[in-house]
Structure formats: C-alpha cells, structure tokens
Structure 1
Amino acid sequence: MRGSGRTTKRLWRWRWRSNPLRRHEDILEAWVVLAMWAVLVVGGAVAGLVTAHAAAEEFAHQRAERHSVRAVLLSAAPQAVPAIRGAGNRVLAKVRWTAPDGTGRSGYTRVHSGLQPGARLTVWQDDRGNLTTEPTGPVKGAAEAVLFGLAAVAGVAGVTFGAGAAVRVRLDQRRLAQWGREWELVGPQWGGRKAG
C-alpha cells in the first residue's frame, strides 16, 4: 500500500512536468510563489526577532540610564485646560532637583495640575542629570517589543506579497497575450463551419 502512494505522487509530478498545457510562465509562477513563502518565513522571522530584540534592548537601556529623583515644585501648576484633559491632567511646571553629580538643577517637566509651590514629587533624569520621561517598565517593554516584532513581520509580509502579486500580474498578462496570439491562429479554423 505504501509504495502505491509514492508511485501516485511521482506520476502526478511527472504528469505536471510533462503536461503539454504547461507554459514557461507557469513554471516561473511556481518559483515565484515558492520564493515568496521562503522570504516570508525566513525574512519575516529574522525581521521580527531582530526588531523585537532591538526594542527590548532599547527599553532595557532606558531603564538602566534613567533614574527617579525627588524634586520640589518651584511654581504653581496651573489647572489643566479642559480641551486637553485627555493628557491626564498634567501641565508644564518648573521644578528643582539634584543631579547625580550633586549640583542643583531646575527645569520644566509635566506635573499634575493644581499642585502648589513647594510640593514634592518624583521626576526622572538621565545619567547626566537632564530631565527625561519615565522609562518603559519591563512588562510593558516586553509587550511593546513583541508588537514591534509583529509589525516588522507584517511589513515583510506586505512587501513580499505585494512584490509577488506584481510579478504574478505580469505573468498573467504574458499568458493572456500568448493565448490571444494562439487563438488568432486556431480561431479561424473553428469559424469555417457553416450551419447546414
């Protein structure tokens, strides 16, 4: 039984290879489809993994470089404008903090609206003592790295399928043109019959 299954597959392949209706464009299309899937599987996996790894490293670098520090609010934080309340009721206000080298610094950062001068709050600074945003946490960073990786896979898939579709459209145009030329030769032979 097992041998007959292999024989059937071999015969099917042999028939496909020796099929008189098979055209050069059909072989090209088969290779294009195979190449598309190879690029999608290999290229998509590599792009996704490299992108996810790079994003995870960047988030880890941010967490290593940025540090929280206590700061004092120097000016009153105005009430948030109702039109932009979606920003979490945070407004720009001046704060003072101590840099890693021990010097006092002041600058502007986003704080909750309505705070009064002298209020103590936590801000984030880099290794040079400049204000920065809070780094992405490990869990959120991992989730975002996965999303970036999936976006890279989708980008590779889109480009691959787009290029493959363009090649296949061109092959279809060549096939139709060839069929048209062949019909011009064969068609008149069929049209010579008269109804009797």
Structure 2
Amino acid sequence: MRRTRRVKKLLWRWRSNPLRRRDDIVEAWIVLAVWTLVLVGGIVAGLVTAGAADDVFARQRAERAPVRAVLLVAVPKSVSGIGTGSERTPGTVSWTAPDGSTRTGRTLVDTGSKAGSKVVVWLDHQGGLTTEPPSAGEAAVEAGVLGTVAGCALAGAVFGAGAVARWRLERRRLDLWDREWDTVGPRWGHKTG
C-alpha cells in the first residue's frame, strides 16, 4: 500500500489531473530525458573514451621500442641544490639507431648516474627519442579514469542543461501565476469571508 502511494506520488505529472498544466507534462518529459541521457549517455561516453584511450596506449606500446644507450655526461645527485622531488633529470645519451647510425639526444636519466653508464631509452618508429609507453596495467587504469571523467562530464553537462530547462519552465509558471493573480486578486478585496 505504501509503495503504491509512493509510485503514484512519484509519477504525478503523468497522471490525468484537472490541475495538471502543459508545463508539468513538458517538465516530466525533460526529467525523463535528462535521466535517460545521464545514465545511458554517461555509460556510453565512458566506454567509448576508455576504449579509445586503451587503443592509443596499445598503439604506443607497439610502436615504441627500448634501446640500450650510454650516458655521455655525468648527472649530479642534486641538481642546483634544490630538491625537486624527482629522482630523474635530463641527461645526454648516445645510442645506435635501427639503421646503424649513432645518434645523440637528451632524455630523463636517474640522478647520480656517472658518464659511461648504461641506460634504457625508448625510440619511436622513426628512431627518435620518446617517452616510455604505459604498461598494460597503467594503461588500463588511465583508460578507466579517462572514461569515468568523460562519463561524469557528459552527465554533468546534461544534468546542467536539464536544470536550466526546468528553471525556465518554473520562471514561466511563476509569470503565469502572477498574471492570473493580477486578474483575480483585486476582486477579493480585504475580506475573506
């Protein structure tokens, strides 16, 4: 019995009622559309974004390759005496490219490394230095976070648009009530009974 009353109260805009206005029906459709888009659209946007991010990370793992390189210049333990909180700093390295030529460039290396020490650098498909691609686990976490953010962003935008539409309907209803009151109010006078 209580559940039936709750459902009736929840769906009052859909029931036939002599006091129901056209704006109430419009508002009911807006609420239904907003919640449908928030739930379905948010999930779809999250899944599409996560899938696209995962594809990008998989492509990075396929295109990038690790190569052994030699550090040319020693890197001091603390750079400029200020603790940056990072254990890596730019250093000059030399490596052999896939075509057999020797190349030189700058990449992040561990602080305190001595000249001549071996380091691993990552090369793109053209043989240039690039960053290490995320592992499969890191990529899955990052894709999940990006998907969640995309889903929440879409849901927030849809919810905001629905709130603005409902606010405009409410303003319209208040203006109609003001006009009706301006018509009926003066006839009442100061006596109520």
* Cα RMSD (Å): 2.4
Distance change (3 Å), C-alpha of 1:89 and 1:81: farther
CA distance in 2, matches of 1:96, 1:84: 27
1:62 aligns with 2:60: yes
Which residue number corresponds to residue 83 of structure 1?
Answer: 82
1:163 aligns with 2:166: no
Which residue number corresponds to residue 109 of structure 1?
Answer: 107
Which structure: greater helix fraction? 1
The answer to whether the Cα contact below 8 Å between 1:99 and 1:128 also exists between their aligned partners in 2 is: no
CA distance in 2, matches of 1:14, 1:54: 42
Which residue number corresponds to residue 99 of structure 1?
Answer: 97
1:98-129, Cα deviation, whole Å (9 max, x unpaired): 11222211111111122121111111111211
Deviation at 1:18, TM superposition (A): 3.0
The answer to whether the Cα contact below 8 Å between 1:67 and 1:126 also exists between their aligned partners in 2 is: yes
Number of aligned residue pairs: 186
Structure 1, 42-51 or 15-24: larger mean CA deviation: 15-24
Which residue number corresponds to residue 134 of structure 1?
Answer: 132
1:60-83, Cα deviation, whole Å (9 max, x unpaired): 111111111111011111332343
CA distance in 1, matches of 2:180, 2:130: 71
Structure 1, 137-146 or 33-42: larger mean CA deviation: 33-42
Distance change (3 Å), C-alpha of 1:16 and 1:73: closer
SS of match in other structure, 2:66: strand
CA distance in 1, matches of 2:38, 2:181: 38
The answer to whether the Cα contact below 8 Å between 2:14 and 2:25 also exists between their aligned partners in 1 is: no
Q: Gaps (5+ residues) in structure 2?
A: none
TM-score in terms of structure 2 length = 0.87
Structure 1, 60-69 or 179-188: larger mean CA deviation: 179-188
1:121-156, Cα deviation, whole Å (9 max, x unpaired): 111111211111111010110011111110011111
1:14-68, Cα deviation, whole Å (9 max, x unpaired): 9954312211111110011111112112221221111000000011111111111
TM-score in terms of structure 1 length = 0.86
Structure 1, 121-130 or 169-178: larger mean CA deviation: 121-130
Percent of aligned positions that are identical: 52
